[in-house]
Amino acid sequence: MANELEKENAAQAAMDFVEDGMTIGLGTGSTAKFFVEYLAEEIAEGLVVRGVPTSEQTRRLAESLGVPLVDVEQVDRIHLTVDGADEVDEHAQLIKGGGAALLREKIIANASDLMIVIADSSKSVEMLGQFPLPVEVTPFGYTITAKKVYDALKKAGVLKPMINVRTGPGNKPIVTDGGNFILDCSCGAIPEAPLASALLSNIPGVVEHGLFINLARTVIIGSDDGATIFEY
C-alpha cells in the first residue's frame, strides 16, 4: 500500500539523525514501528544506542527486536525522540493519541533535545481537527470533565464538538497505560489550537491532551520515492 511505503520512507529518513551513543525516545504507532525496526537493524550492525519507549506496546516491540532499553527514570538526557502523528499542520502542530499513548509520548517529547515527527502524506493537513482529538482523563468524575472539555473546545472556536469515551471489547472504556480513560473529541476543525491546548490543560481531571504545540522541531513526510524534511 502507498501509505505503508510512505511510512517506511519517512522512518528511514529519520535514521539520518541517529548518532552513536544517543538515548532515543521511541514513539508509538504504525509509522514509529518502522523506525524501531530500522533502528534494530542498525544496532545489529554495531550501532550503540538505547531507547526509551513511550508505551508498553513499543516496549514489547523493541525488546523483541533486541533494542536496548532504559527506564525514563534512569536517564538524565534524551537526545532524540522519533514519533508519528495523527495530524500535522504547516506550523508543526500535532494531534497525537490515536494509539492512546499521548501522556507518555508528550512527557518524553518534552524531555528531548529534538522531537522528529515521521508521517505519511495523509497526515499533513492545513488545519488540525479532522482527526478526533484525544483527551486523557481520570476515571473519577470523567462525565463532569467531559462537559468542561466541551466548553473549552467551544471557547477555542470549535463549532460543534462531539465527545465520546473511547471504548473497547464489551463496550467498556479503554484504559491507558497510566490507568486513565480517553475522550475522543470530534471537532471538524480547531481554529485556535494553542488556545485549545491551554484551556484543556487547565481543566481538573484532564491528565493530558493530544495537542502537541511547540514540541516538534523536524517533520518528515514520506512519499512513494523518498521523504521531505521540514525544519522549524
Catalytic residue list: 105
Question: How many beta carbons lie within 10 A of that of residue 200, not counting itself?
Answer: 21
Q: Which residue has the cell 539520518?
A: 16
Helix pair 30-44, 2-14: axis angle to 10 deg: 50
For residue 11, the one-letter residue type is: A
Find how far residue 96's CA is from the centre of its chain: 4
Nearest-angstrom CA–CA distance, 109 and 57: 17
- CA-nearest of 116, 119, 87 to 221 is 119
